[in-house]
Each structure stands twice: as structure tokens, then as C-alpha cells.
Amino acid sequence: MAVLHNRISQQELKQRLMEEPFKRVTISYYQYFPIVNPQEFRDELYKALYPLGVFGRIYVAKEGMNAQISVPEHHFDAFKTYIHGLAHLQGLRLNIAVDDDGKSFWVLKIKVREKIVADGIEDPAFNMENKGKYVNALEMNTLLADPETTVIDMRNHYEYEVGHFENAIEIPSDTFRDQLPMALEALKGKEDKNVVMYCTGGIRCEKASAFMKHNGFKNVYHLEGGVIQYAHQVKENGLESKFIGKNFVFDNRLGERITGDVIAHCHQCGKPCDTHTNCKNDGCHLLFIQCEDCREKYQGCCSKECLDTVDMPLERQKELRKGIDKGRNVFNKSKSRLRPRLNEILGTKPVFGSKDLAPENTDKKIE
């Protein structure tokens, strides 16, 4: 019987990755399509991709699949042939990473989930087929030049912080589930205006565009392939990039540079910096931005408290940090800071109560 799960330690897997004599290609892709038996589909996928040396994470649900993976360069054609040979995936767009060192993943994980994007949508009449219109890089730039166009960033605040489209509106939330109703309420009265939505690779903004149309918005667009595909098209066609800074990615790289602009700041000293890292304290692992000077000063930790305990045994670290509210850290971005800008751009009045404006825990661990 085939082994359908990894049985090797993470440390050994990482070591093997670093010693590989060949190059890897980092790819992301998704597709909304009906899967009758997600577990069976998951197992067949694992049996096909594992022999090809594919690493990364793939989520499978009844509504489709979502993947961020790396493929050995010499197996890329075989991988592409297999994926495009599956029902509903012929001609599937594969987003090739913009800034890739091939060390994005070190193990293959394929998981069955309720949905490939947790959305909180419970209306049985919601239909993903009634989605917004795709736009490419040139069309995106044209829409951005129209003052009547509203551009919505459907990513999390820590993604927006290091890079975004010019004049894009950040919906201040840490979860896509929360963003959908917030975007809907913030855009009330603009049902007949152009609304453009974008995200990293297209999966979130595609569902968001369908949600907006489901709720009466008529002229809804979404960026095909997200920021990743936009960056490729800008380069290939000699266009001006209207996306500035870095594109946050959910793998070991934590970001790929789109333009040379550094629009974020170190969360410890405030100097220009857009390098995300996880706190080196195993009892913390807070995701934050840290410059080289602070990295050396704090040994990769997010605070003096973590620095003081980083060399202790893991269980002792967790014991000392138990009950500490990380929401007090300067690394968290309060919605009270973001909401005034949203009101200013849209000309709306505040619609969220004090509970919604409270700082949230941004403890993110990238595996």
C-alpha cells in the first residue's frame, strides 16, 4: 500500500532540500470546480506528485483545489502534463514565482478542507460561476487610471503593508471571512461604479468578486492570476508597474520583490524595511518586520522578553509566555489606524463598533 503522508523529520527534510543538486520552480495555482470525493482526489494527487519530488501545500475541498508548491525543474513538464490532464484543469494557469530561490518548501502536504478559501458564506444561492470579469495587467493599469474606479486589496494587513497597488484600499482585517462583509458595507452606494479586486494569486479576489456580484454590484473586475501574474505581464510587455513594493507570499521566502520601493518600516526601530520574519523564540514565532541591525541586536527575536528566554527549553519558554497578550506589541496594526483612511477615500462614515477597531493578534507562523 502506498504511503500517503510524510514520515521524515522536518530537520532532515530541510537538510535534504539544501543539498539538492538541481533547481526547483515555485508555482501557485487554484481552480474552483466540483470535487465529489475530496479525500479520494487528495490521495490520488499525492500518489502522482510525490514521485515527482513535488514539495508544498495543497488544499482540496468540494469547491476545488488551491496549491503553493515547488517542482524540480527536470520534472516540470511531467508535472504540467499530469495537472493539465485532470478533468476541469485543462489549460489551468500556473503562476510561476517572480523572485524564486527554489527553497520555498521542503515537504509535500495535501489536506482536505471544508473550503479552499474560508469565506463564512452560508447563502445556498451563492454561485462561484457568477464572478467578476478577469482583467490582465494592461487592463488593470487602464482601470487604475480612471478616478471613478475603486481598487480593493483582498489580502491581510501584513501583506498590504509591504506592497500594494497605488491608491488601493486596505480592508482592515486579518481574515478573508471578515473582509467580505466589511468590503460590502464599505462600498455601499457604489453598486454601479467600477470595483476592481486583487490578491496574491487570484483565488481570494475571484471569490470576492462573486460575492460582490451576488450582493448587487454590477461592474466588478478581478486581477487574473493576482499580483504574481501581473508582475510577469508588466515585465513581458514593458508596462509601468502600478504595484509598488513587495508581494508577500506564504512560503519560506515570505516575499518576492516587484519593485525596488521599500514602503514598510522595521517594527522595532522604524527605519525603512520590508523583510518579514518569524520570531526566533520557539515559544512565540510572531510574524513581524525586522531590519538587519535589529535582527543582530535582538538575535532574530521580536522583543527583549523573547530574547531573554530564547535559549531556554521550549516548554519553559511557553510556560513563561503563557497568557501574554501579543496584541499589546507594536507589531500589531490596529484597525483604528486603518479605518480613517478607508473613510477618507470612500467618503463614508464609520460603520464598525469599538470591538471591530481593537488590535488583533497577528501571530502568524509560516511553515
User: Which among 355, 351, 339 is positioned nearest to 184, based on CA atoms?
Assistant: 351
Whether 199 sits among the annotated catalytic residues: the reply is yes
- The count of other CB atoms within 10 Å of the CB of residue 89 is 15
Which amino acid type is present at position 342?
L
Q: Compute the distance between CA of residue 27 and CA of residue 97 in angstroms, rounded to an integer.
A: 6
Strands in 156-215 per DSSP E: 163-165, 169-170, 194-198
Q: Is 65:31 a contact under the CB 8 Å cutoff?
A: yes
**CA–CA gap between residue 216 and residue 238 (Å, rounded):** 36
Distance of CA 15 to the CA centre of its chain: 26
Contacts of 337 (CB under 8 A, 6+ apart): none
Sequence-distant (≥ 6) Cβ neighbours of residue 327 within 8 angstroms: 358, 359, 360, 361
Output the nine-digit C-alpha cell for 88.
Answer: 476541469
Nearest residue to 212 (alpha-carbon basis) of 268, 171, 244, 266: 171
* d(C-alpha 341, C-alpha 346), whole Å: 9
Other CB atoms within a 10 A radius of the CB of residue 311 amount to 9
Q: Where are the beta strands (DSSP E) in 121-242?
A: 133-135, 150-153, 163-165, 169-170, 194-198, 219-223
Q: Which residues are catalytic?
A: 199
